[in-house]
Amino acid sequence: MNTRGLAQVSDEGPIAAAVDEVLAANPKAVADYKAGKTLILGFLVGQVMKKLSGKANAAVVNRLISERIA
């Protein structure tokens, strides 16, 4: 799989950088999440996945977003 660029990114460095960029670019979504609209988490995860071409480990993305906006 790796030869076709389909490898999953589990390294937290690039994922954390993408999470930080997405959170900075979407302050309203972060505020909505903090206000109790937890479904917005899916939107934020989607934005990170898009930024990393869908190759990020979704569990890591979810955890990092939750840690940063908790």
Q: What is the CATH number of the domain that holds 15?
A: 1.10.10.410
**Predicted TM-score of the model (pTM):** 0.86
Please give the residue range of the domain that contains residue 22: 11-69
The structure tokens listed for 37 are 């609209």
DSSP per-residue letters across 27-65: HHHHHHHHTT-TTHHHHHHHHHHHHTTT-B-HHHHHHHH
Is residue 52, in this structure, part of any structural domain at all?
Answer: yes
pLDDT bin (cut points 50, 70, 90) of residue 48 is: very high
How much is the pLDDT for 1? 44
The mean pLDDT of 46-58, rounded to a whole number, is 95
pLDDT bin (cut points 50, 70, 90) of residue 37 is: very high
Total domains in the fold of the chain: 1
